[in-house]
Amino acid sequence: MSLDYRFCVAPMMKKTDRHFRYLSRQFSKKAILYTEMIHANAILKGNPDKLLQFKDIEHPVALQLGGCEPSQLAEAAEIGASYGYDEINLNVGCPSKKVRSGNFGVFLMKDIKLLSSCLRAMKKNLSIPLTVKCRIGVDEYEGDEFLNNFISSLSSEGIDTFFIHARKAISGLDTKRNRSIPPLKYESVYRVKENHPDLKIIINGGIDEMIKCQNHLSYVDGVMLGRKVYADPTFLLEVDQDIYEENNANCFDIGMKAYMEYILALENPKDVNRAITHLVQVIKKISFSKETRKQLLLNVRNNNKDLKNIFTDFQEDLLLKSQSQNP
């Protein structure tokens, strides 16, 4: 299956789990969804079912892996593919301290030889696409010449799809500041596409409006949004129509009802709590009065309250709100 990368939801640690992906799919049928980054060792030494299982509704969905040991990454990629993911993505963009100490993520951009070995090993037995998510540079490894050579080297290993965060990474900054302090250089990503028209280039970083998505698509093959989508999952309601020009009749009320039914069907209390955490993101964006919103959140978090009754009241509030807006 050829994937349409025009709009992608970025992998985000402790956010894009299977519950959030289920919620996202209620609002967009077309966006490509990504898992949190999962280290290869976690799959090899942990519980693959717990880490990798997902629902069919999530397709198209990709698994993002982290690591720097070729044989481990290759085995983890094979296991991931066996679960039915549409793509395997290697994280070459995360700048966290943990990633730095393990010499993976964005720090692989400094060791093209090791990175190439990882990709060759992973690609060997994969029948689904293998892609790379990187930055425009890291520390002293920066500039158009470096980035162009980096992309050329990986494309020679058979990688034809790149997700490029348009900021460099700086070792001395924490993850949060690495998302804001290094300046965005979208033109650097545009030039990669100009120099490699045969490759799929998806741009990432600081994109927070539909008009910006559409503008970027004049230069590259796709956009990838992370924090904007997590802060406001309802943003996805615009995607199918405005990006893919398809009317999938996605509806906020129906989507919310489906997600609440999904939560009610969960058996593990930890899963319920994580799923509710994502629901809270939506509630925050709804223009209820502050008091109504606060009471709803308190009720949801109160273990002594029946979730089914809370959700029924929530749906009634949504209906009243809808009627007041459309008399």
**Residues labelled catalytic:** 94
Longest dimension (CA), the chain: 64
Distance CA 39, CA 59 (A): 22
Handedness of CA 65, 278, 19, 320 (dihedral sign): negative
Query: What one-character-per-residue DSSP string does 56-122 give?
Result: GGG-SEEEEEE-S-HHHHHHHHHHHHHTT-SEEEEEE----HHHHHTT-GGGGGG-HHHHHHHHHHH
One-letter amino acid at 235 equals: F
Q: What single-letter DSSP state applies at residue 219?
A: T
Kindly report each contact of residues 3-6 with a partner whose C-beta sits within 8 Å and lies 24 or more positions away, as own/partner: 3/32, 3/60, 3/86, 3/87, 3/129, 4/30, 4/32, 4/244, 5/32, 5/161, 5/200, 5/202, 5/221, 5/222, 6/30, 6/217, 6/221, 6/222, 6/223, 6/243, 6/244
Joined tokens for residue 153: 């080297």
Q: Which residues contact 95 (CB under 8 A, 6 or more apart)?
A: 105, 106, 107, 135, 138, 169, 170, 171, 173, 175, 178
Tokens 């997902």 — which residue?
Answer: 54
Question: Beta partners for 200?
Answer: 161
Query: Token pair of 42, please?
Result: 């976690």
Nearest of 48, 61, 49 to residue 20 by alpha carbon: 61
* H/E run at residue 39: strand 32-39
- Tokens (6 digits) for 234: 């309802």
